[in-house]
Chain A
Amino acid sequence: MSHHREQLDISDPDGAEAIYRARGITKVYGEGPSAVHALRGVDLDVPPGELVVLLGPSGSGKSTLLNIMGGLDRATGGDLYFRDALISDYSDRRLTAYRRQHVGFVFQFYNLMPSLTARENVELVTEIAPAPMSADEALRLVDLDHRADHFPAELSGGEQQRVAIARAIAKKPTVLFCDEPTGALDSKTGVTVLRALQTLNRELGATTLIITHAAATAAMADRVINFADGAIREVVENDNPVDAEEVSW
């Protein structure tokens, strides 16, 4: 494949300035009286390198915000900065490049390609990312190097999710978005996934945002954001995050 690839030059000013700056983000689905307000004006600053947990009931807007920050969806109003780039104004093409270069995603339902092996699923990303780690290295980071040649159908749920994580981090993303990464897993398997995420956050320094229903997960976060009714209710900073193994639910 040869394609024209958009090159983004988003500078990385060293320092503790926020990696994301959101101002007055709104998201409205539909029009008129039937319109649904998913986000009603969100202001948020995320410092780089943090592990952030987003809590809140279904429909509170946390997935919508994550999708917008990850470049999967567009805000109806407001400004969203990634470093000093106003990504809320980006074209489709630039959003694709932004995802390709900076963002890793992990979903509740893994979203692996059933026709590719674990290694190949990771290589799907390493082939198009500018400076990736090797697929085997990424799988080693999630303890799955011994399962690299297996197809998704031959892996357990937890293993599939760890392949998804390996795939997300293989490009050495600037940020990692995880939407209910443990939602489809039992608690024991869930902990192995959380540990993987925490390790990667600490070792790679990728800013990590995790949506979860399990409030206990908040204990491992540097910052906890509580959502309700399309807006942020509360932001709690946690100076002493615990290890993933100590999280219980």
Chain B
Amino acid sequence: MTALSVLDRKVLRDLWRIKGQAVAIIFVIASGIALFEMSNNMIIALDETMRAYYERHRFADVFAPAKRAPKNVLSEIRNLEGVSDVEGRINGGGLATVPGVDAPISARVLSYDPDRVSPINRVFLTEGRMIRTTHPDEILLLRPFADAHGLEPGDSLAMTLNGAQREFVIAGLALSPEFIYALPPGEFVVDAGRFAVLWANVETMEAAYDLDGAFNEAVLTISRTAQVDSLIQSLDRLMAPYGATGAIARADQVSNKYLVEELKQLSTMTTVMTPIFLGVAIFLLNIVITRLVQTEREQIGLLKAFGYSNGDIGLHYLKFVLAIALGGALLGWLGGQYLGAVISEIYRLYFHFPFLLYGAEWSTVGGSILISASAASLGAYAAIRGAVVLSPAVAMRPPAPPNYARGTGLTEAMMRALDQPSRMILRRVARQPFRAGLTVLGVGAAMGLAVMMRFNFNATDYMLDVSFNVTDRSDVFVTFPEPVSGAAIHEIEKIDGVLYTEPFRSAPVVFRNERIEYLGAITGLPANPVLNRAVDSDLRNVPIRGDGIVLSEQLAELLSVNVGEAVTVSVKEGRRPTLELPVSGKVEALIGTPAYMTMDSLNRALKEPYRMSGAYLKIDPEQRTAVYEQLKSVPKVAGVSLRREAYHNFKEMIDQGPGTFRNIMAVFSIVIAAGVVYNAARIAFIERSHDLASLRVLGFTKIEAGYVLLGELALLTLLALPIGSLIGYGLWAYLAGALSTELYQIPTVYREDSLGQSAIVVLVAAVIAAAFVQRDINKLDIAAALKTRE
């Protein structure tokens, strides 16, 4: 081993001398890198897992539902251009009854041929065995649902299929690429226990749904070069006679859509957050290195006088910076690997994969170091340049003493009201406004981060509140597999304990404006809706009147249509009419891209008077069990959703998934605040140990002397709170915009107490940092400090 050069030994000793500050900066860099790594690893892991799963289990590229199509249509589909394989299956709704659970549980039942070699949407058997064609009562059950209710292979499961009761035997538990995110119909959050997915024998299904020799959904895989859009068009034409409601591409498949959206959000978070952390790290390094170079002016001059080149000097300080950057990168990388694994596991509670391809991403070590080193070098650039260009003669003269004659902007009278230590604080801040400003900005960044996180929570709460207490105020939401007549509604109204029934009509449509197409749905509301209403962004009830259509802002924007213009609507069910509807209004929706009409005018347009797709119910909580029981026996009820449970599930999910993520962020914002305050305090301490010693000589106590220093930081920290709040607003407004998707709009609402909570976080961090510096003040050797000149 070669001995270190003297300058390199100096690097190590300098690092040791400022170890507290170095550690603080390392932590800030590490936080940024960890966040970056964590999200990146998760994105890579989830994305790779998703792709591998889709590939191995032949997840369909196109889903084409119909009412009833004869099996010979399949060969016609296979002949369409771009189709590589097709299967017909029966996809039916139903209700499951589980012992101990009063409420009916929505279920999806799919036909499955156990003898088929590598079928499309092949299931992954996790326990038990495959169903047998010889046993018509055998089913496979979605694993998370089974786990939620303690069901095992061999147990039986009571089902209501197409209005008929039936008992099945669970042969095995399975996962499927179709149900990675198993969303119950009509809801937007998974609840493993509230949504059952079953796979049953083809013959069983044909009998249950009266589809002998027919299928009601074609699933397709396509060739790599296939044009999805044109394929869907030809498919829709081909399937139209069989009651097709419109084929959807994989991109629109619910489970896949949520998964892809989640990955997108993670990626957005990473893009927004990482630069904030690295920005703060750059700022801290800038301050520390600037200070280091200032205190070492004479040494730099001496080194140059001895014949060290500018390059040598620059390299010397660069090594110092890079050592810190390397520490931050490695710590951050390790932290990111760990946190990524933790969060990925949490994600598996919602996204059900049979396996997770999570591994340490060695390939990103280099990237982490590069990012960290670039940020650090950027931060130190000006200071190092200052050292490099310093001429030896100038370097060996001490810098000019600071002149405090410049005013603070405070009047003499105001100054008079303050004691001397307070005046020292004010003059110092006024004397170096740029540096003070940077400190304020650094602490403000931490505050902003904390504020943004709190606002994020607020927005989620708001969304939940609006969704479950303002727009939808029902207790139970009932859907039918296809529009039913008023008779079915009457049957529900008759149930004891049902207090109010509000029907609605919904039709799957393709919206069209010139060349823009969007697959969506129109919701028809009764004249004066009570339980499920259209509300605008100010939560005011939007009355839906006349024959026009009211579009959500997002949908109107997607289609680029305005109020007064017309939109073309191709209905995907029933008689499949194509309509020209005038846009009569716009409404800002939080979730989804709804379009509203009155139920009457929608039905009229569809030429299907008095048809309903489902109903919102208000029930007597006392008679809940009885209501649930009777709902199960109403024929045609395909899905029952309990709003209260949905609400609690959503809250729980937010707490676990995004909640964990945000808690990690909260810790990071404390790291930033403490890092900035500690660094500012340490530098102030070093610069002013002479002043502090003088104060101690004059008889100031440790606390009184500390006040001069820490009071300044307290002042800057307090200034940072409002500025940080503004930064928080800005960050949140930006992030909310970036995170908003077709599936839901993130509202930029906030609550004032979030600012208070964030301020507490920042103040606690500042107090901790101040305590460290007060400890240095307590240990100050007065006699030694005074022997050296400034």
Contacts and interface: CB of A to CB of B under 8 A. Distances in A.
Given A1-B704, A153-B403, A116 B786 contact: no
A115 B404 contact: yes
A114 B401 contact: yes
Interface stretch (B199-207, B416-424, B507-515, B631-639): B416-424
Given A1-B704, A151-B403, A154-B405, A113 B694 contact: yes
B783 interface: yes
A129 interface: yes
Contacts of A120: 420, 423
A72 B419 contact: no
A96 B694 contact: no
A19 to B, nearest CB: 18
Given A124-B695, A153-B402, A113 B701 contact: no
| A73, A97, A115 interface centre (most CB from chain B within 10 Å) | A115
Interface in A67-84: 67, 70, 72-73
A116 B423 contact: yes
Interface in B375-423: 401-405, 419-421, 423
A107 B690 CA distance: 12
Contacts of B423: 115-116, 120
B696 interface: yes
Interface stretch (A98-106, A200-208, A209-217): A98-106
A149 B694 CA distance: 21
B427 A128 contact: no
Nearest to A105: B697
A113 to B, nearest CB: 6
A67 B707 CA distance: 24
B764 interface: no
Interface in B662-702: 690-691, 693-702
Interface residues of B, number: 33
Given A111-B690, A115-B431, A103 B699 contact: yes
14 contacts: A72-B786, A96-B699, A96-B700, A99-B697, A109-B786, A114-B691, A116-B427, A120-B423, A121-B420, A124-B420, A127-B420, A153-B401, A153-B403, A153-B405
Nearest to A153: B403
A128 B403 contact: no
Interface in A1-22: 1, 3, 5
A123 interface: yes
A118 to B, nearest CB: 12
Interface string A46-77: 00000000000000000000010010110000
A151 B707 contact: no
A71 to B, nearest CB: 9
B782 interface: yes
Interface of A: 1, 3, 5, 67, 70, 72-73, 92-93, 96-97, 99-101, 103, 105, 107, 109, 111-116, 120-121, 123-125, 127-129, 150-154, 167, 171
B579 interface: no
A70 B707 CA distance: 23
A100 B424 contact: no
Interface string B776-790: 000000110010011
Nearest to B430: A115
A1 B404 contact: no
A167 B698 contact: yes
Contacts of B695: 124
> What are the 6 closest A-B residue pairs judged by CB atoms, nearest first?
A100-B699, A115-B427, A111-B694, A153-B403, A99-B699, A124-B420
B272 interface: no
Contacts of A127: 419-420
| A92, A96, A100 interface centre (most CB from chain B within 10 Å) | A96
A184 B428 CA distance: 26
Contacts of A154: 403, 405
Nearest to B711: A1
A1 B707 contact: yes
A125 B401 contact: no
Nearest to B421: A1
| B401, B694, B695, B704 interface centre (most CB from chain A within 10 Å) | B694
A155 to B, nearest CB: 11
Given A114-B404, A115-B404, A151-B403, A129 B699 contact: yes
Interface in B747-790: 782-783, 786, 789-790
B80 interface: no
A151 B786 contact: no
B424 A72 contact: no
Given A107-B786, A115-B427, A115-B431, A128 B700 contact: yes
Given A72-B783, A153-B401, A115 B424 contact: yes
A180 to B, nearest CB: 11
B499 interface: no
A128 B704 contact: yes
A116 B403 contact: no
Contact of B699 (A73, A97, A109): A97
Contacts of A105: 697-698
Interface in B420-460: 420-421, 423-424, 427-428, 431
B424 A151 contact: no
A151 B403 CA distance: 7
A120 B403 CA distance: 15
A3 B703 contact: yes
Contacts of B698: 99-100, 105, 124-125, 128, 167
Contacts of A171: 699
Contacts of B431: 115
B154 to A, nearest CB: 76
A167 B698 CA distance: 9
A157 B588 CA distance: 72
Contacts of A123: 420
B699 A153 contact: no
| B401, B697, B700 interface centre (most CB from chain A within 10 Å) | B697
A67 B786 CA distance: 11
B528 to A, nearest CB: 66
A209 B763 CA distance: 47
| A92, A124, A129, A151 interface centre (most CB from chain B within 10 Å) | A124
A1 B419 contact: yes
B640 to A, nearest CB: 67
Given A93-B701, A107-B786, A125-B698, 8 more contacts: A72-B697, A72-B782, A115-B423, A124-B695, A124-B698, A128-B700, A151-B404, A154-B405
B535 to A, nearest CB: 55
Contacts of B428: 115
A3 B699 contact: no
| A109, A123, A129, A154 interface centre (most CB from chain B within 10 Å) | A109
A73 B786 CA distance: 12
A169 B404 CA distance: 24
Nearest to A121: B420
Nearest to B403: A153
A124 to B, nearest CB: 4
Contacts of A114: 401-404, 691
B388 to A, nearest CB: 29
Nearest to B425: A115
Contacts of B405: 150-151, 153-154
Nearest to B695: A124
Nearest to A177: B697
A79 to B, nearest CB: 20
Nearest to A111: B694
Nearest to A173: B699
| A112, A125, A129 interface centre (most CB from chain B within 10 Å) | A125
A92 B433 CA distance: 36
Given A96-B696, A99-B699, A128-B700, A111 B786 contact: yes
